[in-house]
Structure formats: C-alpha cells, structure tokens
Structure 1
C-alpha cells in the first residue's frame, strides 16, 4: 500500500464497509493499523459517548462534560512516550511499559533458547558432513592425479593448495549465497505467518549474527580441510603406477 491508495475496511459483524484514502504511511511495529484524527474517527464510525453509562461510573466527569460547551468526544485511549501525570489514576485502565512489551520475548528465550542452541550445533555438524563428503569425493576422483604429481616432485602442501583452494572458494561463495537466501526466505515465511495473527512482532537480525555464522562454517571447513590434508599425505606414489593401463 502506498500514499494515495484507497482501501476498504469491512465491519466484521454488521457487514458495513468504509473506504478510506491513505494520506501517510508510518512505521508501526506493534501491528497493522489505520490511524485517523479522533473527530474523523467518531464521525466515520458513528462513535458516541454513552452519557448514561458514564454518569453511572463517574457522575463528576459527566457533570464536567455537560457543563463544557461542545459535543462530548469518544476516545479509546492515549499513546505516550512519557508517563502522564495530569490524569487522575481512576481514569487509567492500564499502563503498558517496555518491560511488559519484552516479557514475551524473554519467556520464549528461557523456554526455547536451549532448543535453538541445539539446532545451531546440529547445523554446524551438518555443514561439516556436507563439506567432508564434497572434499572426499574430489580427492577420491583425483587420487591417481595426486599420486602422479607427487612423482613429479610436488610437495604435500602444494598439492593441498591445488585441490583445497578451489573448494575453499566454493565454500565461501556458498556461505554468502546461503546467508542471503535464508534471510530473504525467513522474512517471507515470517511475514506470511504473522498476517494470520491479530498482533505483530517485528523480525530482527542482530548484525553480529552474520559474522558468527560465517566464522562457524569456516571453522567447520578448516577442520575438514585438515582431515583431508592428512588424507593427501597418505596417498602413496605407487598409486599412479597401479592404475596405469
């Protein structure tokens, strides 16, 4: 939705429809909402103050409203970044603090944090397995060639760089592509899930997550590369002679 678009709001129970034009789009992480001036809201949705109910709950407030010129205004509440000190406590239904808003995230971290830690290390183990199988396949298919270059006088370090550097670039490229695709995919899935909820929780990736993920995969690759380098050292020179036809 963009500024100038017209949207239709449908009343859930009475079937009424209201067409409103978007004048401005603002970031609001708490949910998907439509904001409008209180006077326009009262007029559009025909919201009126129930004087009888108000007089029953607070006669003093009713007398004050009746003595004040103008039409009584309906309102649902106030949003404020600071504590309101000029309102009587009896008129305050609830006060939501930052601690209240973050309580759910803390509870989820306590109850599910251990599971996410397990998933993290499982992903590292899976990365080790995939990289190991990839490098193992490359070395097995080039065993004869490795033996031949040993006969030609190449050192183990030179052979390791020859075969493992290509794999290193492939791993780095895969990490970058995977981070981008996973971030975009998770964002799309998360937004699709949140549309079905009444509220809204913004998704946030900490900047330190990406370098940590890269370092973890590179650490896994370094471990595999060390194992495969030892495998290269164990390939004998006579392996090339055995397979000569």
Structure 2
C-alpha cells in the first residue's frame, strides 16, 4: 500500500498543480477581457468621481462569487467522479484501499482556489487603475 501511495502521489500532485495553473490562466484571461471591454465604463466611473478602489471592487470583486460558486459545484462533483475512478484503479489489486477525503483536504482545495483568485485579483488590479479618465472623451468626439 505504501508503494502504491508513493507511485500515485506524483500523479496527484501533477494533476493538482496543473489544474491550478489552468484555473489561474483562464480566470486571468477572463478578467482581463472584461476590463478591456469595459474601458469606457471604467473611465466614465472615474470621471464621475469614483476612486480606483471603488472601481476595482465593482469590476474585480464579483469574480470572488464566481470562484466560490464554482468551488461549491466542482468539489462535490469531482469527489464523486474520483471515487468511481478510484474503484477502477484498484480493482485488480489484492487489497482494499478505501477512497476517502477528509475535511482538511477539502479545506486545502478551497484554500488553493481562493489563493488562485487572490493572485489573479492582484495581477488584474493594475488593469483597472491604468484606464485613464480621458478614455471616455475619445468616444464623445
């Protein structure tokens, strides 16, 4: 059993980190796209007197709810799928190794997802701050 866990630990860590990297890249591209498409609105808000912090909260903090919603759906679904895959993986082994995930493991998964969101939030906060107030005047001419 120790040998089996040692062999699987590399695969599990590879899948975990690669999925986190994919999540960060997709979320970063999504947020950058929204900010790029909403440059006029961001500039208008700044012209109306909203601070950079308020504009950033309005455009970037809503994605926290997207990440939380995705976690509440994806973690139970992935655990259900993985329990079935686990049964297929150990069907030919002469010993029974149960599939279990502790609350600590679920908390680590949620923490990694929220950490990935925090990294993306920090990386894209510069995009909303870099929109000039004069952007709104370009379309008025």
Give the TM interval when normalised to the shorter protein: 0.7 to 0.9
Higher helix share: 2
Q: Over the residues paired in the alignment, what is the CA RMSD in angstroms?
A: 2.0
Q: Which residue number in structure 2 is paired with residue 178 of structure 1? A: 74
Unaligned residue ranges in structure 2 (runs of 5+): none
Given that residues 31 and 124 in structure 2 are in contact (C-alpha distance below 8 angstroms), is that contact kept between their aligned partners in structure 1?
Answer: yes
Structure with larger Rg: 1
Given that residues 194 and 201 in structure 1 are in contact (C-alpha distance below 8 angstroms), is that contact kept between their aligned partners in structure 2?
Answer: no
Q: Which residue number in structure 1 is paired with residue 137 of structure 2? A: 241
CA distance in 2, matches of 1:110, 1:232: 45
Total equivalences in the alignment: 140
Q: Which has the higher contact order (CA 8 A, sep 6+)?
A: 2
Per-residue CA deviation, residues 74-118 of structure 1 (Å, 9 max, x unaligned), is xxxxxxxxxxxxxxxxxxxxxxxxxxxxxx2x1123334233223
Task: State TM-score, norm by structure 2.
Answer: 0.88
CA apart distance, 1:197: 3.6
Given that residues 164 and 225 in structure 1 are in contact (C-alpha distance below 8 angstroms), is that contact kept between their aligned partners in structure 2?
Answer: yes
2:61 to 150, 154, 165: 165
Unaligned residue ranges in structure 1 (runs of 5+): 1-103
CA distance in 2, matches of 1:184, 1:111: 22
CA apart distance, 1:187: 2.0
Q: Which residue number in structure 2 is paired with residue 150 of structure 1? A: 46
CA distance in 1, matches of 2:38, 2:90: 52
CA distance in 2, matches of 1:196, 1:228: 46
Given that residues 52 and 128 in structure 2 are in contact (C-alpha distance below 8 angstroms), is that contact kept between their aligned partners in structure 1?
Answer: yes
Higher strand share: 1
CA apart distance, 1:131: 1.0
Given that residues 132 and 224 in structure 1 are in contact (C-alpha distance below 8 angstroms), is that contact kept between their aligned partners in structure 2?
Answer: yes
Q: Which residue number in structure 1 is paired with residue 114 of structure 2? A: 218
Task: State TM-score, norm by structure 1.
Answer: 0.53
